[in-house]
C-alpha cells in the first residue's frame, strides 16, 4: 500500500478514474452475456424437444428438420456472440491491467491502451452483430400462422391492426 505522501498516489487516483469507463463496459458486457446465454439455453431446449419427438410422417419430419436447421443456425450465432463477448471482456480486463501496470511501474505501454480499447469495442460490435443476426432468424422463423389469429377475438381496448 502507498503511504499518503507517495507521489504516485495522485497518479493512481487518476488511473482509477480512467478505468471507470472500461469497468462500466465490463458490466454491460456481463449483462449482455446473460441475455445471450438465456436465449441460447432456450434454443437448445427447443432443439432437444424437437429431436426427442422426431415423427415417422415425412411431412411432419420435413417441418421439424427445417425448424432444427433454423435452431442450429441460431445456436451457431449465439455461440459466436458469447465467444466474441468473452473476448471483448478479456480485452477490457487486459486494458485495465495495463493501465494499472503503467501507473505503478516503470513500464509504460501507452501505445497499447488505445489499441486494447479499440479491439475491445470491435469485438463487442461483432458480438452485437451476431446477436442481431440471431434475433433476425428468430423473428423470421417463429411466427404465428395468420389463419390462426386472423379472426381471433381481441381484448377490449386493443387498437392494434388486424392482419
Q: What's the pLDDT tens digit per position in 62-103?
A: 888 988 999 999 999 999 999 999 999 999 999 988 888 887
The answer as to whether 150 is a domain residue is: no
Cell numbers given for 97: 491491467
The answer as to whether 69 is a domain residue is: yes
The answer as to whether 1 is a domain residue is: no
The answer as to whether 132 is a domain residue is: yes
Residue 47 near residue 72 (C-beta atoms within 8 A): yes
The answer as to whether 92 is a domain residue is: yes
Segments forming the whole domain that contains residue 54:
9-140
Distances (CA, A) of 62 to 38, 51, 133: 28, 12, 24
The answer as to whether 39 is a domain residue is: yes
Q: What pLDDT digit, counting tens, does each position of 107-146 carry?
A: 878 789 889 999 999 999 999 999 999 999 998 887 666 6
The answer as to whether 163 is a domain residue is: no
The answer as to whether 93 is a domain residue is: yes
Min mean pLDDT across 9-13, 37-41, 86-90 is at: 9-13
Alpha helices in the chain (DSSP H): 8-18, 20-52, 58-104, 112-141, 146-149
Number of domains the chain contains: 1
Q: How far apart are CA 68 and CA 40, in angstroms?
A: 14
Q: Which residues make Cβ contacts (< 8 Å) with residue 48, sequence separation at least 6?
A: none
Residue 81 near residue 37 (C-beta atoms within 8 A): no
**pTM, rounded to two decimals:** 0.77
Rounded to the nearest angstrom, the gap between the alpha carbon of residue 131 and the centroid of all alpha carbons in its chain is 6
Cell numbers given for 120: 475491445
Amino acid at each position: 500500500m502507498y503511504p499518503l505522501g507517495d507521489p504516485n498516489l495522485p497518479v493512481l487516483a487518476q488511473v482509477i478514474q480512467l478505468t471507470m469507463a472500461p469497468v462500466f463496459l465490463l458490466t454491460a458486457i456481463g449483462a449482455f452475456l446473460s441475455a445471450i446465454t438465456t436465449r441460447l439455453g432456450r434454443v437448445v431446449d427447443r432443439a432437444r424437444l424437437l429431436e426427442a419427438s422426431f415423427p415417422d410422417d415425412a411431412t411432419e419430419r420435413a417441418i421439424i428438420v427445417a425448424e432444427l436447421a433454423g435452431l442450429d443456425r441460431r445456436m451457431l450465432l449465439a455461440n459466436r456472440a458469447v465467444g466474441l463477448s468473452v473476448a471483448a471482456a478479456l480485452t477490457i480486463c487486459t486494458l485495465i491491467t495495463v493501465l494499472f501496470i503503467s501507473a505503478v511501474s516503470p513500464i509504460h505501454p501507452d501505445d497499447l491502451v488505445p489499441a486494447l480499447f479499440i479491439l475491445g469495442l470491435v469485438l463487442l460490435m461483432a458480438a452485437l452483430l451476431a446477436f442481431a443476426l440471431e434475433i433476425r432468424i428468430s423473428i423470421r422463423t417463429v411466427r404465428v400462422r395468420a389463419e390462426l389469429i386472423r379472426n381471433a377475438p381481441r381484448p377490449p381496448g386493443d387498437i392494434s391492426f388486424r392482419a
